[in-house]
Amino acid sequence: MVSIQHISTEHVAYEEYFSHTSDIEVVTVDGRIFVLTVGQYDGGASAWELQSGSLVKVDALTLSTGVTAGAEGDLTALNTAAQDYILTGGGVSGAFRLITANGTDIFGSSTSLGTVTAFSSDLYGTSTIQLDTGKILVLGAIAGEAQIGVLQIDTVQKTISAAGTVSYGSNVDNDAIGASLVTEIDGHSYFVAATQSSNTLQVWEIDTATGTLTARASMDADQLFWGTTPSSMAAVEIGGVKYLVVGAYDSSSIHVVQMAADGTLTMVDQVISDSVSHVGNVTAVATIAYEGDTYLAVGGNQGGVALYLMLPDGTLTCVSHIYDSAAMSLQNISDIALYAGADGIDIFVSSASEYGLTHLYVDMSAENGLIAGTDAAETLIGTSLNDVIFDGTGSDVLQGGSGADLFVLAADGETDVIRDFRLGIDRIDLSHWEGLNSLDQLSFVTIPSGIRIHYGDEELILYSHDGYDLYASDFSYEDLFTLDRVALEGGENQAAFQLYGTVGNDTIFGTEFVNIIFSDSGDDQIFGYGGNDQIYAGSGDDFIDAGDGDDVIYGEDGADTIYGGLDQDTIYGGGGNDILDGGRERDIIYGGEGDDVIYGFTSHDRLYGEDGNDKLYGSNGLDYMKGGAGNDYLAGARDADSLFGGDGNDQLRGGSGEDKLRGEGGNDLLYGQDDRDTFIFSDDFGRDTIYDFEVTLVEIIDLSDVSEITSWEDLVANHLTETAGGSAQIYLDENNIITISGVGMGELTSDMFVF
């Protein structure tokens, strides 16, 4: 199975060059591979060379006379037939500079191009295309404005030959561009931008003779683009089809959009990034082709990097992810860049809040890549390597072989068979089955040497590789889903009803069909009723009852009260102190900013407090709860729950069932309560206390992610002490202590620990 490894986190003597790193570029000059970074505030750039799989520091460059807030936070590679260049600069607060790229120490001679008075603020997120005249057209966002910044650079004369802006006429104030790129399709060149207030994708065609832009197409919620606050974008081509991949911050989502030769856009896939990968609010996406397959790396604000594989139809499956540790700088990711080498993929990650450039690596030597079926009924056989097998439509038979394989099942209403499933080694992705996102929706029937899994008109028969029977209890959510997919509703045969509120206190009633409801300011009451609704509450202290259906609800600003109702809902509280209740079935709830109260109900819910001092309450089902920032209270209930405190001084209560409790940062109080629980710690865990640790149940303390403790012998010899009151303590230093209340040192045994 694909695995992301940490290679190094690079630092230099002048750490201010890494403060708020905003951009990474990978460039190849004279056959040598360089990784360049620049800070958003520092005016400093650094360069490494990738040598034999490791980064070697080769150059640094001061771009301004001192540390200047807002200065020169962007790097753009300019490629011409005669010479490669690097463009830096930020418009009004920092002069543009053209740097000759050479094959020795990368940063060659530098020419100041001056500032641009046509820009009202900084230019960032730039992309380029060479015009018919030989000049380089540079396009990007003007910070805080509904404008595109346009430059034409004469690399021969080393001057800016033209500069200006293009307004895109948004009727939303401060509808700034969050992500943009230049791409080409069938001889047409396009500039694509995603705006952050109207949440719209807009397409302009570029006249390569003159550099002028002509609007061609757009996509918003009316065309099923449900992302909020787009932050990042990349373009790929598979089988002659162009796709845009858009990451959205507030909705923690990734969107795949097909782009036609005339610029028109069609939604293909929408997935939630956070529930499995710990990416959180998406801030960076990057794509790369490797051995004929297309991979997508995604980062966000919660310390995770996820790697997705794009399937032939443009949809995604998650193949791996990695979570931050003390050795890495993955919090609040600002940019990601990729490089495809002979045996794997290098991933370079920068943070907006931590020092250093983190180098990750995906070793592909044991990976066979994608085996994709067609629309026909067929037999697909894997290799001895790790395969990803996508069955396509039709009644198919799949056989993975001896590797750690991932089987991805299409929605086709057919019976498919996997012949040699290796429990605990192979995985399955059923997220393409329409409307499915919970184990509770599946029917399991044990059969000789396997199991039959049924959902609606979909059926999957698994036969174990060793001939043993399989049972429903053998499978967790992570065994059968690699991601959370948002159903694409409201197409030609299921058009959505659009309803709009006013600036006053409105009462809005939806229909029994699919609704898209846009409230405005004011304290509104919104009732979705039936259908898979999308509700935007706007500002104000709103009351929302979404009703039946798989709803997506955005509370936005204000202290909102939101009820998801029946079926599987996704709720975003937004700003304010919210009360959020998912209702029955499997829900995903994000508190957002403010001190929120979040309730799961029946089924396997995923609850995220995010910012603020939040209270999270689970219920029946295998719940996943993460407090996030702030001093949070998390309470599981029945069944085996997973509780993650996040930053802050948190209190975690598992309830009944075999729960997993992880306090994470801060000084946490951990109560396992009923049944045999597991308490998990990693580096920098704080001063934590475990209450009601049951030695008779042989509960577990997992220290495998604590780098300073390597074994039971090491624990006893160097870290295990006892308080004056007789409670055992695991001591690293004054800031990292685990107290096991009421349990003495002599009561602990090695089988209670994982190292």
- Residue 43's pLDDT is what? 57
Q: Quote the number of domains for the chain.
A: 2
- Residue 349's pLDDT is what? 96
pLDDT averaged per 10 residues in sequence order, the chain, 755 residues:
92 57 87 85 77 91 53 70 79 70 82 81 85 92 85 89 81 74 96 90 96 93 80 95 94 93 94 75 95 96 93 95 92 94 95 89 94 94 96 95 95 95 95 81 93 93 96 91 72 51 79 76 86 86 90 90 88 92 87 92 85 92 88 90 92 90 94 91 94 89 92 95 94 94 93 92
SS3 747: helix
Task: Tell me how far apart the alpha carbons of residues 401 and 379 are, in angstroms, rounded to a whole number.
Answer: 13
Task: Tell me how far apart the alpha carbons of residues 285 and 689 are, in angstroms, rounded to a whole number.
Answer: 39
Contacts of range 721-728, beta carbons closer than 8 Å, 24 or more positions apart: 721/745
> Domain containing 54: what range?
16-167
Evaluate whether residue 601 is within a structural domain.
no
Instruction: Give the CATH number, domain containing residue 149.
Output: 2.120.10.30
Smallest Cα–Cα separation from 38: which of 9, 57, 16, 8?
16
Last residue of a domain, one of 483, 504, 539: 483
From the centroid of its chain, how far is CA 550? Answer: 22
Evaluate whether residue 99 is within a structural domain.
yes
CB 8 within 8 A of CB 16: no
Last residue of a domain, one of 105, 138, 167: 167
Task: Tell me how far apart the alpha carbons of residues 27 and 106 are, in angstroms, rounded to a whole number.
Answer: 9
Evaluate whether residue 319 is within a structural domain.
no
- The values of phi and psi at residue 254, to 5°, are -125, 135
The radius of gyration of the chain from alpha carbons, rounded to an integer in Å, stands at 27
Label the pairing between strands 84-88 and 458-464. unpaired
CB 419 within 8 A of CB 401: no
- Residue 541's pLDDT is what? 93
CB 632 within 8 A of CB 649: no
CB 265 within 8 A of CB 259: yes
From the centroid of its chain, how far is CA 114? Answer: 37
**DSSP sequence for 208-260:** TTT--EEEEEEE-GGGT---SSEEEEEEEEETTEEEEEEEETTTTEEEEEEE-
Last residue of a domain, one of 118, 143, 167: 167
CB-count exposure of residue 442 (10 Å: 0-12, 13-18, 19+): middle
What tokens appear for 427 in the block? Answer: 């995985």
- Residue 187's pLDDT is what? 93
Evaluate whether residue 98 is within a structural domain.
yes
Task: Tell me how far apart the alpha carbons of residues 83 and 496 are, in angstroms, rounded to a whole number.
Answer: 52
- Residue 139's pLDDT is what? 92
Evaluate whether residue 293 is within a structural domain.
no
Contacts of range 185-192, beta carbons closer than 8 Å, 24 or more positions apart: 185/242, 185/259, 185/260, 185/261, 186/261, 188/261, 188/262, 188/263, 189/129, 190/216, 190/259, 190/263, 191/127, 191/139, 191/148, 192/233, 192/235, 192/244, 192/259
Label the pairing between strands 753-754 and 736-740. unpaired
- Residue 20's pLDDT is what? 64
Q: What share of the chain is helix, strand, coil (3-state, %, to 5)?
A: 5, 50, 45
- Residue 327's pLDDT is what? 92
Evaluate whether residue 162 is within a structural domain.
yes
Torsion of CA 550, 555, 560, 564, to 10 degrees: 0
β-strand partners of 35: 26, 48
Type of residue found at 546: A
Evaluate whether residue 7 is within a structural domain.
no
Evaluate whether residue 131 is within a structural domain.
yes
- Residue 497's pLDDT is what? 59
- Specify the residue for token string 């009462």: 507
Q: What strand order describes the sheet that includes 265-272?
A: 230-238, 241-248, 253-259, 265-272, 484-485
Label the pairing between strands 588-590 and 570-572. parallel
Task: Tell me how far apart the alpha carbons of residues 178 and 150 are, in angstroms, rounded to a whole number.
Answer: 16
CB 275 within 8 A of CB 283: no
End-to-end CA distance of the chain: 23
Torsion of CA 546, 552, 555, 556, to 10 degrees: -150
Task: Tell me how far apart the alpha carbons of residues 265 and 200 are, in angstroms, rounded to a whole number.
Answer: 11
